[in-house]
């Protein structure tokens, strides 16, 4: 059966999944890019964006796994862009240029309707106004037997965790402090929700932890 999962979601040592004050110059909030040094260095990332050789090893293994068997994505609106409130127009087309890295349907949670946005490389953004369960239903229909990946942000992941819908989550604990921003696990008792740690590994750049629902003994 397909899974609803989170992969490569980086958090700081003080628990933040993004910095404060997101804008066009700071897609991940102030200092938020510091969380992803481990990922940017990998061979997987370089093959997608950088053009360099990149590193192999633990970090690259988790990065590579994150794209396997993904048939659809779910994103919160902040992950799509910094525009707030009703869409003033359809000029904003995401952070990623003409060919986003998804290559499958992406369902964006929003309170404001917008027409689907087809991009190069097989990515189509669908803007869902009916809430997280409608987004999940549509994403599963699009994904078929493949998994659905929740890309974030932190508030969107928390919604699916609290509802008991998230099957698995890979967190990358980066050795940085943000001080403020978007907390991932604030107010959430993962153990009470039935989650447990099933895998962990460390590199020089991050500590990787895989948490799965139903794994608490």
pLDDT at 83: 87
Of the candidate CATH numbers 3.40.430.10, 3.30.70.1150, 3.40.1190.20, 3.50.50.60, the domain formed by 4-84+100-213 belongs to: 3.40.430.10
For residue 94, give the DSSP letter: -
With beta carbons less than 8 A apart as the criterion, state whether 170 and 209 touch: yes
**Is there a cis peptide before residue 116, judged by omega within 30 degrees of 0?**
no
Dist. CA 122–CA 142, nearest whole Å? 13
- The pLDDT tens digits of the residues spanning 138-177 come to 999 999 999 999 999 999 999 999 999 999 999 999 999 9
**Tens-digit pLDDT profile for residues 24-76:** 888 899 999 999 999 999 999 999 887 789 999 999 999 999 999 999 999 99
Domain segments of the chain as ranges: 4-84+100-213
In terms of DSSP bridges, do strands 4-11 and 168-173 run parallel, antiparallel, or are they unpaired?
Answer: parallel
Taking the C-alpha atoms of residue 125 and residue 118, their distance in angstroms, rounded to an integer, is 6
**CB neighbour list of residue 202: distance below 8 Å, 6 or more residues apart:** 58, 208
Task: Share the mean pLDDT of the chain.
Answer: 95
């Amino acid at each position: 059966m397909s899974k609803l999962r989170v992969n490569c979601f980086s958090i700081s040592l003080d628990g933040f999944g993004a910095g404060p004050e997101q804008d066009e110059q700071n897609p991940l909030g102030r200092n938020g890019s510091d969380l992803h040094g481990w990922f940017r260095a990998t061979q997987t990332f370089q093959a997608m964006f950088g053009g360099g050789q990149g590193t192999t090893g633990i970090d690259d293994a988790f990065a590579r796994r994150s794209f396997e068997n993904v048939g659809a994505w779910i994103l919160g609106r902040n992950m799509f862009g910094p525009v707030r409130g009703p869409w003033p127009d359809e000029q904003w087309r995401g952070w990623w240029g003409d060919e986003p890295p998804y290559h499958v349907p992406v369902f964006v949670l929003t309170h404001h309707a917008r027409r689907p946005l087809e991009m190069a490389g097989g990515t189509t953004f669908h803007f869902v106004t009916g809430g997280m369960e409608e987004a999940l239903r549509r994403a599963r229909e699009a994904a078929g037997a493949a998994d659905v990946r929740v890309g974030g942000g932190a508030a969107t992941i928390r919604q699916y965790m609290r509802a008991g819908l998230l099957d698995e989550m890979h967190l990358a604990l980066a050795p940085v402090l943000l001080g403020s921003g978007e907390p991932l696990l604030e107010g959430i008792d993962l153990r009470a929700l039935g989650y447990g740690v099933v895998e962990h590994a460390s590199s020089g750049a991050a500590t990787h932890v895989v948490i799965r629902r139903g794994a608490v003994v």
